[in-house]
Amino acid sequence: MMDRVWLWRFFAALSLFLHSPICYSDKAPNYSFMRDATGSPTTSYYDYIIIGGGTAGCPLAATLSQNFSVLLLERGGAPYNNPNITRLSAFGAALSDLSEASPSQRFISEDGVINARARVLGGGSALNAGFYTRAGTKYVRNMGWDGGLANESYRWVEAKVAFQPPMGRWQTAVRDGLLEVGIVPNNGFTYDHINGTKFGGTIFDHNGDRHTAADLLEYADPKSITVLLHATVHRILFRTRGTTKPIANGVVYRDRTGQAHRAYLKEGSSNEIIVSAGTLGSPQLLMLSGVGPSAQLQAQNITVVMDQPHVGQGMYDNPMNAVFIPSPVPVKVSLIEVVGITGEGTYVEAAGGENFGGGGSSGSGSSARDYYAMFSPKATLLESNSMKLSSAQPFQGGFILEKVMGPLSTGHLELRTRNPNDNPVVTFNYFQHPDDLKRCVRGIQTIERVVQSKAFAWFKYADMSFEYLLNLTASTPVNLRPPRSGPGASLPPSAEEFCQHTVTTIWHYHGGCVVGRVVDGDYKVIGIDRLRVIDMSTVGYCPGTNPQATVMMLGRYMGVKIMRERLTNK
C-alpha cells in the first residue's frame, strides 16, 4: 500500500508544475474604453456608476452602455496577458499568489477556513475552476425572475464564454461511477440543472484558454462606457438635506497612487449607482458609506446615513469536502466537468491531476501550501522544505468532492477597519445547522460508492480501502481548524469527523445584502434612492452546482430590465 509521503510528493510536484513558465496565446481584446485610473479626471459625470467589474458588473455595464453613459470601476487589473489566469494548465497559481498585485486576495474566515476574493476585472470568473451550469427552473421561479428573459440572458452570456469540455477518461469514469451507484438519469452534456448525472459546460475553450466575464465587455458600446482599473471605491456619496430619504449621487475612488477622484451621477432621477463589488465587497462598501448596523458604524467612527441592521447578515458559504484518490495509471489534468446532482442535498464533482512526479523534486517551494491547488484555494500556510520527498516513484491521482447545497448554516460580516482594501471579519458557521452535516455525510457516502464502483476501478488501487483514503486526505492540513485529537485521532475518521475537519470552500459564498432584507426584488437598496446592489451578496441560497453562469446572467438580465423600464417610463 502506498505511503502517505506520496500525497506530499504529489502536492510538491503540483506546486512546481503550476509555477513553471508556460507558453500561452495572447488574446487580449482591444478595449479602447479600458485604462488605468491614474490620470482620470478629478471629477466626472455619468448616467450609471457601477462599482465592481466582476461576474455581474461586466455584463451589467456592457448592457447599460447600449443606451446610457456608464462608468465601471474595478479595484484590480485586467485578466489578460497573465498566463496564471488565462491558462487551464496554470489553474491555482493565481490563488497562491499572496502579493499586493495578485488578482486574488486571500482571507481567512473566523471558522479557520482559507478563502479568496477576486481583485481583477472579470471577478471570480478569472480565478475559478471554470464550471458553467445554469440554475434550475425552480430556482429562477423562486427568485421572481422572468423565465424567458433569463434564458435569453443565459444565451447572451454563453455566446461569448461557454464551451463543451473534452470529457477525458477520469471524468468519464466518475460519470459512469455516479450512474452505476444510482445518480440517474444520464443527462449527457447540458448547461441545465437537472437531477442525475451530467457533463456541464466550461469557460475554458478547447485550447485551454479561459474566457471571463470581462469578455462580455465586447458587447459594450465603446463610445458610452469607461472602464477604470485599479480604482478602489472608498465610499458612496449621498444627498440627505431636504429629502425624505438618502439619495445616492456619487462615489469617491482612489487610483493606485492614492489620488482621490469623484464621480457623480448626471441629472435625472432614473440615473443610479449600482454596487457589484461581490459578497464581501458590497456589504463592506455599504457600511463604509454609512449604511449598516449603526452600532458597528459608530464603533468605526463612520457617520450613519441609514441604520440598516441586515447589512452583513445572512452570510453563507457552501461547505466542500474532497477525497484524494491515488491512481495506478496517469490522470490527465481536468477541472470540474462532470457533476452528480443527487437529490439528497449534495453535489458530487471531480478534478483530475496528471503525473507530476519525478524530476528530483525535494519539496523546494510550497507543496503543503498548494494543497488542493487543482480546484480549491491553498489550504495551509505550512512550508514543506523540511519534507525530504523521494523522487523514485512518480505520483498521480485526483479528487472527488462533494458540495453541500444551500447551505442552511448562516454567518455574518463585520468591518475590521475603515480601509476598503482590508478584508472584513467574516464568519460562515460551517455545519452549524445539523442538516448541512447530514448532507455532507451523504455526499461522502456517495463518493465512497463511486470509488468502489466497477466503472472507476481503472483509477483505483485494488488494495486501498476507502477508510484509508479518508485518513490519507485528513492527514494533510487543509484549513486552520483544530486538528483531530484524543485516543482515536490516529484511526480513520468517521464521515462526520471527516466533514468537520477537512471542510474547505468552493468559493460559492454569498449573502450579506440579501433580497427582502437589504434590497427589494428589483435590487434597489431599501430606504435609499438611486442605489442598487446586483451580485451574489443579494442571494440567500446558492444557485445550482456553480453560481457563475447565473451571476453573469443576472448582470445581463438586470441591465435589460432597467433599460426596458426606462424606455417604458419615457
* pLDDT for residue 477 is more than 90: no
Active-site positions? Answer: 508
Architecture of domain 166-199+319-379+392-405+432-502: 2-Layer Sandwich (3.30)
Average pLDDT, the chain: 89
Q: What is the CB neighbour count within 10 angstroms for residue 112?
A: 12
* pLDDT for residue 455 is more than 90: yes
551 is in an annotated binding site: no
pLDDT one-digit tens code per residue, 297-311: 999 999 999 999 999
170 is in an annotated binding site: no
548 is in an annotated binding site: yes
Looking at residue 14, its pLDDT comes to 38
| Closest CA relative to residue 295, chosen from 187, 202, 414, 193 | 414
For residues 17-27, give the mean pLDDT.
39
Q: What is the CB neighbour count within 10 angstroms for residue 98?
A: 12
- CA 85 – CA 79 distance, rounded (Å): 6
* pLDDT for residue 8 is more than 50: no
Alpha helices in 54-202 (DSSP H): 57-64, 83-86, 93-96, 137-142, 147-161, 169-180
For residues 87-111, give the mean pLDDT.
91
Higher pLDDT, 449 or 570: 449
Residue 515 DSSP label: B
Question: Which whole-number Å values give the CA distances from 441 to 346, 395, 484, 503, 552, in the listed order?
Answer: 9, 28, 17, 12, 32
* pLDDT for residue 216 is more than 70: yes
For residues 73-96, give the mean pLDDT.
92
pLDDT grade for 354, boundaries at 50, 70 and 90: low
For residues 268-297, give the mean pLDDT.
97
Looking at residue 3, its pLDDT comes to 46
433 is in an annotated binding site: no
- Tell how strand 260-265 and strand 43-46 pair up: parallel
List the domain boundaries for the chain. 34-159+210-316+510-569, 166-199+319-379+392-405+432-502
What is the separation of C-alpha 183 from the centre of its chain, rounded to a whole number of angstroms? 26
pLDDT one-digit tens code per residue, 142-180: 999 999 999 999 999 999 999 999 999 999 999 999 999
Looking at residue 395, its pLDDT comes to 56
Q: Per mean pLDDT, which range of 148-162, 273-287, 322-336, 408-422 is the poorest?
A: 322-336
Which SS3 state, helix, strand or coil, does residue 36 take?
A: strand
For residues 237-243, give the mean pLDDT.
95
Amino acid making up residue 550: T
291 is in an annotated binding site: no
Instruction: With beta carbons less than 8 A apart as the criterion, state whether 274 and 533 touch.
Output: yes
547 is in an annotated binding site: yes
- CA 180 – CA 183 distance, rounded (Å): 7
Higher pLDDT, 88 or 313: 313
Amino acid making up residue 20: S
Is domain 34-159+210-316+510-569 classified as CATH 3.40.50.150? no
Looking at residue 255, its pLDDT comes to 98
- Here the cell at position 566 is 426606462
* pLDDT for residue 120 is more than 90: yes
pLDDT one-digit tens code per residue, 504-537: 999 999 999 999 999 999 999 999 999 999 999 9
pLDDT grade for 357, boundaries at 50, 70 and 90: very low
Which SS3 state, helix, strand or coil, does residue 472 take?
A: helix
- Here the cell at position 217 is 465587455
Q: Per mean pLDDT, which range of 6-20, 84-98, 346-360, 514-528 is the poorest?
A: 6-20
* pLDDT for residue 389 is more than 60: no
Residue 344 DSSP label: S
Amino acid making up residue 92: G
Length of the chain: 570
